[in-house]
Amino acid sequence: MLGVSRFAQVRDGIRSSDPRQQSKIKDAALYAEQSKISVTLVNEDTQILFDQLPRGIDYEEAADDGKTGGCYRAETAMTDEKATEKPTQDMPETNKDAIRSKTATYEVLEILGKGAFGSVFRVNRLEDNKQLAMKCESCKAEKQILKHEAKVFKCMSKLNSPHFISLEDRGKVSGRFMFLILRLVGKNLWDLRHENPDRKFSMSTSIRAAEQTVAGIRDLHTCGYIHRDIKPTNFVIGREQDGDLHTIFIIDFGLSRRYRTIDKDLRYQREKVAFRGTTRYASVSALEMKEQSRKDDIESWWYMVLEWMIGKLPWRHYKNFKIIKSCERDEVRQRKRELREPGNLMTLLMDTPQTYMANILLYIDTLEYASIPDYNHIAAQLSASMKFSVALHINGMLSFWAFKELIRNFFEIGVFGLLVVILLMHKSLGSSAVDLLAHTVNNKAE
């Protein structure tokens, strides 16, 4: 197993004796340099595969047979630069190819994203003129990730979740590529957050997004799968023309894994596994190369929500503000452990609903591999934080949302709540009033 963060290093110091493996590593090194992407070679006995996403590219073997698969993990630098690799010759050509499945014909309109072994296109279904997304994967890819994703979509179709997108069709162009047809969706939550000048969502938006994303994770777990790569780019909003602009969908199941057998028994916990996920959001256990479970998805979700609320995670940089790379997982893991210390946690959560965010993390830390997360408990904490948090916005002024929430709950918070509003408008209390108000209401309820 190698732990190399830059493919230039891999290229200059090939460790594999297999000529085919050497060739793949060299090709990937060249691709990485041209695309300004840093790549970690985690296991030699696997493929090179990059997802179609232009940012936050991570891909690993997602074998469904329970064996430990290797992976190549690619992660773009934390900028808005897009990968510029040449499209593979196997992929369909826009405005030329008509792709046929057993049930429909699709006109390829434009490319939405591309990678070394796969691309995503906007297509038009000729039978009803409906525009959809076509996700393609080269037949030359040694591990067929789309086959795995198709299995996940099949299981998801049995659960009527508002947070799943449907698999419309699938097929294969012999010798070239296989494809999945999916409905079109809107922007992902990473891009939406970066559209804000301060790189964070408002408190109300953060909480509402947290409610929907944890519901999507819960529904995926209900289907018997864990995601293993929970992060903002893997959640997207709907489209206004489809009437679901405010719905959040969970996507990209290339790293997902069944955590239970067909008989719904919990799968055996392997002692040592290859790392899967994204370092920034990965759970402590995942960073320790331990088998992931439902608990790890929820922990990654918590880090994601925290980033929405405060704008930047404390382990994004380390050592003179150097951007973290995959080989620095030990440093990130240590920072996440240090976060749990009482003083550190409450300080970091100062501009969030402290009590509720801390409660959720402390609850997550009680979970084990076999634990079934109490999603209702987490949802209740989020609901309480929305109900009693006072969001401060630009210049410290009380937001319209916060004022509306306080008025709506006046009979629960009473005169004291209005006093907090007045003090906040005069910038006397700061965000600590959130917890002061919450504790007061909770005490009155008891």
- Which are the catalytic amino acids? 229
Q: Is residue 67 a known part of a binding site?
A: no
Give the separation between CA 281 and CA 300, rounded to whole angstroms: 5
Q: How far is CA 121 from CA 106, 134, 180, in A?
A: 11, 5, 10
Q: In terms of C-beta density within 10 A (0-12 exposed, 13-18 middle, 19 or more buried), how is residue 443 classed?
A: exposed
Do residues 31 and 85 make contact, with C-beta atoms less than 8 angstroms apart?
A: yes
Q: What is the DSSP-derived secondary structure letter of residue 300?
A: H
The pair of three-digit structure tokens given for residue 19, joined into one six-digit string: 């000529």
End-to-end CA distance of the chain: 55
Do residues 231 and 281 make contact, with C-beta atoms less than 8 angstroms apart?
A: yes
Q: Which residues, other chains included, contact 302 with Cβ-Cβ below 8 Å and sequence gap of 6+? A: 357, 360, 361, 364
Give the separation between CA 445 and CA 42, rounded to whole angstroms: 52
Q: What is the DSSP-derived secondary structure letter of residue 150?
A: H
> Strands 105-114 and 118-125: what pairing?
antiparallel
113 pairs with which residues across the strands? 120
CA-based nearest residue to 378, from 364, 366, 368: 364
Task: Give the number of other CB atoms < 10 A from CB of residue 179.
Answer: 26
Give the separation between CA 124 and CA 203, rounded to whole angstroms: 39
Q: What is the DSSP-derived secondary structure letter of residue 240?
A: G
What SS3 string covers 9-56? HHHHCCCCCCHHHHHHHHHHHHHHHHHCEEEEECCCCCCCCCCCCCCC
Chain centroid, CA 242 distance in Å: 23
Residues of the binding site: 135
Binding-site sequence positions for ATP = 135
